[in-house]
Amino acid sequence: MFDSVLVANRGEIAVRVFRTLRRLGVRAVAVHTDADAGARHVREADEALRVPSYLDIDAVIGAARASGAAAVHPGYGFLAENTAFARACGEAGLVFVGPPAGAIEVMGDKIRAKRTVAAAGVPVVPGRDEPGLSDSELAAAALEVGLPVLLKPSAGGGGKGMRLVRDAADLPDAVASARREARGSFGDDTLLVERFVENPRHIEIQIFADAHGNAVHLGERECSLQRRHQKIVEEAPSPLLDDASRERMGGYAVAAAQAVGYVGAGTVEYIISADRPDEPYFMEMNTRLQVEHPVTELVTGLDLVELQLRVAAGDALPFTQDEVTLDGHAIEARVYAEDPSRGFLPTGGRVLALAEPDHARVDSGLDVGTEVGGAYDPMLAKVIVRGADRAEALHRMDRALASYTLLGVPTNVAFLRRLLAHPSVVSGDLDTGLVERSLDELTSGTSVPPEVLAAAALERMLALESGGDDPWDVPDGWRPGAHAWTPWIITPSGGDPVEVRVQGRAGSARVAVGDGPPVAASLSAPCTLTYAGRTTSFTIARDGHTLWLGRDGHAWALGEHVRAEGGAASGAAGDGVLRSPMPGTVLAVKAAEGDRVAEGQPLVVVEAMKMEHTVTAPVAGVVAKLPVRAGAQVALDAVLAVIEP
């Protein structure tokens, strides 16, 4: 085993690899950029070295040599599937904890990969994959294969550049669009065309191979719950496969690995029609550890990172295929920095409070104080559970997500709970389009509950009641004979202001939310609310004028609780105010102060986590204020412009 290993990554995967290194008694070395100098993975390493970028091969290699590391673990993403990096490690006398560079090169090119595995007898999706096809040749090939088809970049992954085409008239625009995105994402606009499998399920097989000619598979993972080709929830085993199907697909996966002289951990991905589960088609091979590897670990009892290290050190696999067994059922849910109620826009901020479930595995790079920005992938953490069967695993996942609290950064945790309770998910009737088809029902009814707004108003009352000795400073509406109503304005993030009226003090009050009737309520520190006879507790955190409340996997950001001077909240709605839908960078400003604009006219473009969002004028009028410029950093809900109707 190595004495010292550098992990060329950040966040949750770096922390996860360190966990195994510590258990094995191996010195853990981290790299970090300036932005990550205070990150958790830096603090948990035995030594950390600065690099200008996680993609800077020379800098990472230099850090490994300077630290005395014998090997480099790439994690996933960044340089994990970079052929040049794998070769550079070898040239520098470092062991690359991954497959040979030649295997990465073949499997990183989807066209070569399909041809290689097809020659090894692995079934592939019907299509055309000749390199150098022109736009017109691609369109002709699509018609030859038969619509619907999927246009796919030959390079890269993660769903970027994919286009589904069902109508021949859409082919020219789809080809042009796919080429643009492929060129921008991977520097290569080569496309291939494949028949689109209806009702597709995404199932992958984990394989391991050593340098002694041994190769095994560790069963499958169901990865069909996706949105925009990005996985959300994974499980092992798949509810679709039986033992015979598992062995057949596992055999194909091992054959694909052996066809390229594979060594280490890899994943062979298949597309399967839910209507024809006996016809799996090879999609691609990921030549690295997968994000979802923990579910395989929980059902096999194996530490896949330890296996990677031992194989990279030259050891033979310590078991044969016959000794691999699957026990129970495991599910993983990905926690993303995104806001489902706002079209899954990327979010960000500083982690103010964090409580992770103690009855689940959580792979995370977060702790209180972590700054989540827009420079990297929005995945923050993974929650993983195991049950004796699938029903028990689903129940345990729901309980785990209900007890997961992150305040300061909007996440998809509440959305995950809804998704896992969907009847089709519960029954195992999955396909890759299920989430998109169900978005309306999964994201509807997500307005802030009245008891949350009541808790926010009473929290402000309680803070003022505890803040001084002069009873006349307490805004409890006291009058001789009875309390008057004290109005407060509360503004949920991304929502309209709501008037909440309070009669009495925080410990004993009547509260009317919006147009609702008065309800008996009380609040005690730190934040236990009794509302309409029901008592519940919130996790609470404050960031300037924003109050965060968390409960049951939900997190609500509530704007400054301004005491209303009179009248309803409608006048404070600010219909002409444009606010940033996400924290990020202003890419473009399409107007100037004094310009007359139409309702819906694009005014500002904001980018975060490689996603662009155009903010439009909410009303017709004149641009009265425009406080941002191209290149400026903006926070969530920051004012971008003010339009006078």
Instruction: Give 544: exposed, middle or buried? Use CB within 10 Å, 0-12, 13-18, 19+.
Output: exposed
Cα–Cα distance measured from residue 139 to residue 172, given in angstroms and rounded to the nearest whole number: 7
pLDDT exceeds 70 at position 570: no
Confidence of residue 562 (pLDDT cuts 50, 70, 90): low
Residue 565 has pLDDT above 90, yes or no: no
Question: Can you tell me the distance from the alpha carbon of 375 to that of 377, in angstroms, rounded to the nearest whole number?
Answer: 7
Report which of residues 575 and 507 the model is more confident about: 507
Counting residues of the chain whose pLDDT is more than 90, the rounded percentage is 71
Return the DSSP state at 600.
T
What mean pLDDT is predicted for residues 432-442? 94
Q: Is the pLDDT reported for residue 236 higher than 90?
A: yes
**What domains can you pick out in the chain, each with its CATH number?**
4-97 (3.40.50.20), 101-125+202-327 (3.30.470.20), 128-195 (3.30.1490.20), 329-444 (3.30.470.20), 450-571 (3.30.700.30), 574-644 (2.40.50.100)
Q: CB-hemisphere CA count at 13 Å for 606? A: 25
3-state SS of 187-220 is CCCCEEEEECCCCEEEEEEEEEECCCCCEEEEEE
Give me the amino acid identity at 19: R
For residues 216 and 208, give the distance between their C-alpha atoms in angstroms, rounded to a whole number: 5
461 versus 470: the higher-pLDDT residue is 461
- Give the residue from 190, 191, 170, 177 showing the smallest Cα distance to 127: 191
Q: Which is more confident, 343 or 270?
A: 270
- Residues 416/340, Cβ–Cβ less than 8 Å: no
| Closest of 185, 300, 281 to residue 237, by C-alpha | 300
DSSP 3-state helix, strand, coil percentages of the chain (rounded to 5)?
Answer: 30, 35, 40
The helix or strand, by DSSP H or E, that contains position 181, with its residue range, turns out to be helix 171-186
pLDDT category of residue 474 using cuts at 50, 70 and 90: low
Distance of CA 185 to the CA centre of its chain: 18
Q: For the residues 613-633, what does the mean pLDDT come to?
A: 87
Query: How far apart, in Å, are the Cα atoms of 157 and each of 225, 260, 286, 403?
Result: 17, 19, 9, 33
Residue that is written with structure tokens 């990905």 in the block: 334
Instruction: Name the residue among 11, 8, 7 with its Cα closest to residue 380.
Output: 11
Instruction: Give the tokens for residue 441.
Output: 């029902």
Per-residue confidence (pLDDT) for residue 606, from 0 to 100 = 86
- According to the model, what pLDDT value does residue 610 have? 57
Residues comprising the chain, all counted: 645
pLDDT at 469 over 50: no
pLDDT reading at 490 higher than 80: yes
pLDDT tens digits for 147-170? 999 999 988 766 778 999 999 999
Residue 547 has pLDDT above 60, yes or no: yes
**Looking at residue 568, what is its pLDDT?**
38
| CA atoms of 553 and 400, how far apart (whole Å) | 9
Segment 237-244 mean pLDDT:
95
Question: Residue 573: pLDDT band by 50, 70, 90 thresholds?
Answer: very low
Give the position of tokens 């969907």: 422
Among 198-212, 295-309, 552-566, the least confident range: 552-566
DSSP H helices, 9-95, are 11-24, 40-44, 57-67, 83-91
Residue partners of 473: CB distance under 8 A and separation at least 6: 464, 467
Q: What is the pLDDT of residue 278?
A: 86
Nearest one of 598, 603, 599, 601 to 626, comparing CA atoms = 603
| Mean pLDDT computed over every residue of the chain | 91
pLDDT range class, residue 534, cuts 50, 70, 90: very high
Name the pairing type of β-strands 47-50 and 27-32.
parallel
How far apart are alpha carbons 547 and 556 in whole angstroms?
8
pLDDT digits (tens, 9 = 90+) for 336-390: 999 998 888 888 899 999 999 999 999 999 999 999 987 888 899 999 999 999 9
- Return the bridge partners of 508, or none: 505
For residue 569, the model assigns a pLDDT of 38
The winner for highest mean pLDDT among 60-74, 169-183, 334-348, 591-605 is 60-74
* CA gap 222, 241 in Å, rounded: 9
Label residue 482 by pLDDT band (50, 70, 90): low
Distances (CA, A) of 31 to 7, 11, 52, 263, 370: 7, 11, 10, 25, 17
Contact present, 54 and 32 (Cβ < 8 Å):
no
**What separation, in Å, do the N-terminal and C-terminal C-alpha atoms of the chain show?**
70
C-beta atoms surrounding 76 within 10 Å: 15
What is residue 464's predicted lDDT score, i.e. its pLDDT? 82
From residue 22, how far is each of 12, 27, 28, 540 by CA, in Å? 15, 7, 7, 34
The residues, any chain, with a CB within 8 Å of residue 558's CB and separated by 6 or more, are: 448, 452, 453, 456, 490, 491, 492, 493, 546, 547, 548, 549
Contact 73, 85 (CB under 8 A): no
Q: Is 277 helix (H, G, I), strand (E, B) or coil?
A: coil
| pLDDT level of residue 579 (50, 70, 90 thresholds) | confident
Compute CA distances 343 → 420, 433, 618, whole Å.
Answer: 19, 17, 17
* Burial class (CB within 10 angstroms; exposed 0-12, middle 13-18, buried 19+) of 447: exposed
Task: Tell me the sheet residues that pair with 528.
Answer: 524, 537
pTM of the model: 0.84
